Amino acid sequence: MVEAKIQEHGLKKGQWIADPFLGTGTTSLVAKMAGLNSLGVEAHPFVYWVAETKMRSDYDLPMLAENVQELVLRASQTCKLDIANVWPELVYKC
């Protein structure tokens, strides 16, 4: 939908798009891929974090996956955690 609206409004590289209800950042991500600048506003800190993380595209995914597996292995050997009711309800829903 975002791509269709960009085309419908004839937006070109370097122009701006605004999203006053950023959510998880899909509009900003599509804008970035189209070479547009974007401005998004999100009030919820966790949802903003998701959007900010989503906007990073310079990850070495194989290395990241390897590091996560190593972290999980070490954590499981080190301690047993009960994470029930530790996070806000929205985190569990997501």
Tell me the C-alpha distance between 52 and 38, whole Å.
12
- Type of residue found at 9: H
Query: Reduced to 3 DSSP states, what percent helix, strand and coil does the chain have, rounded to the nearest 5?
Result: 50, 10, 40
Type of residue numbered 79: C
Give the predicted TM-score (pTM) of the model: 0.60
Residue range 27-39: mean pLDDT, rounded:
95
- Bigger pLDDT: 53 vs 60: 53
Mean pLDDT, to the nearest integer, of 20-41?
Answer: 95
- What is the enclosing helix (H) or strand (E) of 18? strand 16-19
